Amino acid sequence: MKHILSSDQFTKEDLEEIFKLTDDIKNNPKKYANSLNDKIIAVMFYEPSTRTRLSFETAALKLGAKIITTENAKEFSSAIKGETIQDTVRIIAGYADAMVIRHSSDTSAEEAASVNKIPILNAGAGKGEHPTQALLDLYTIRNKKGKIDGVKVAILGDLLYGRTIHSLIKLLSLYDNVEIYGLSKKAFELPEKYIEMLKERGIEYKKCNSFDELPRDLDVIYHTRIQSERFEGDYGKEEFIINKKVLDTFSKDTILLHPLPRVIEISTDVDDDPRACYFEQAHNGLYVRMALLLQVFDRA
Ligand code: NCD
């Protein structure tokens, strides 16, 4: 049974296969319109979402599948009565052919997959991973820059709780000569275990303290929102805000990405800059998720 649980599960070859399939879906959507018309996908979101949920649901519908879903699974499913994720999956497996799950627990996707009755797609697990986001992020980098090997990427914002960051750097680490720079407030630095993982894979992580310490010829600036729902207390607001003035200190070829939602970390005055690719990035999510649904059902 094929699940999508973590960026750890992919090889470079797997990624190229997913990206090629994504390109084909984008170019020939009609070809896939009935690929999953015998399937029902359960969509269980225990945390808020706009893009991930609606793009997964649209992806399923565009492939001909049907969806069943519960609005706000944290309150409206039996989780509130104390049901475990495993028991929920055992029940849903009697109704649906796959389940997409977002949950506040880092281990939620693995717990769901441990039942091994239907494919599980991790749509965000606590502060752990968000592999489908990382795939669409990398797909965007590949398409905009024409390469992934050798890219210089700066990760900004919440490197501690940001699951999109954790999944993205794992994927980037599969490529050759990648350089990763980190810029965040002290309270939101990248955990040591990820720095170690990069080191083991031959990537030196360069921690920076100001915009000035980042190379001007970065290929990608990847900003993120401080995940304020994940901690108690007040660590203040984002200090490293990208506005037009800051962006103009970088190369004209540096692209600006963000998993969204953005709050204050990217000013709206850069939205019209050709380097601001975050809305296009979000739209790529639809096609990448169509590719992943096809793959879990072996219908690619
Ligand atoms: C991200 C998430 O949920 O981790 N959102 C998304 O899926 N695009 C990032 C965030 O919420 O800040």
Could you tell me the residue ranges of all domains in the chain? 7-128+285-296, 131-282
| Mean pLDDT within 37-43 | 98
Going by pLDDT thresholds of 50, 70 and 90, the confidence category of residue 204 is: confident
**225-254 as b/e, with b when 16 or more CB fall inside 10 Å?**
bbbeeeeeeeeeebebebeeeebeebeeeb
Q: What distance in angstroms lies between residue 15's CA and the mean position of ligand 1's atoms? A: 21
CATH topology of domain 7-128+285-296: Rossmann fold (3.40.50)
Tell me how far the alpha carbon of residue 117 lies from the centroid of ligand 1, in angstroms: 27
Q: Which atom of ligand 1 is nearest to the CA of 260?
A: 8
Q: Give tens-digit pLDDT for 116-169.
A: 999 999 999 999 999 999 999 999 999 999 999 999 999 999 999 999 999 999
Q: Which residues line ligand 1 (CB under 6 A)?
A: 51-52, 124, 130, 133, 163-164, 224-225, 227, 259-260
SS3 164: helix
Q: Does domain 131-282 have CATH number 3.40.50.1370?
A: yes
By annotation, the residues acting in catalysis are 51-52, 81, 102, 130
Q: What is the pLDDT of residue 235?
A: 87
Instruction: Identify which of 212, 213, 233, 214 has the alpha carbon closest to the alpha carbon of residue 222.
Output: 214
| Per-residue pLDDT, 196 | 98
In DSSP terms, 103 is beta-bridged to: 125
Residue range 179-188: mean pLDDT, rounded: 97
Average pLDDT of the chain, as a whole number: 97
How far, in Å, from the CA of 44 to the mean position of ligand 1? 16
pLDDT at site 14: 98
What tens digit of pLDDT does each residue of 94-108 get? 999 999 999 999 999
Q: What is the mean pLDDT of residues 76-82?
A: 88
Both tokens of 177, joined, read 């000569």
The reply to whether 131-282 shares the fold of 7-128+285-296 is: yes
Predicted local confidence at residue 75, as pLDDT? 87
Q: What is the pLDDT of residue 76?
A: 83
The predicted model gives 232-257 an average pLDDT of 96
**Identity (one letter) of the amino acid at 124?**
G
Confidence check: pLDDT of 71 > 90: no
Name the closest-CA residue to atom 6, ligand 1: 259
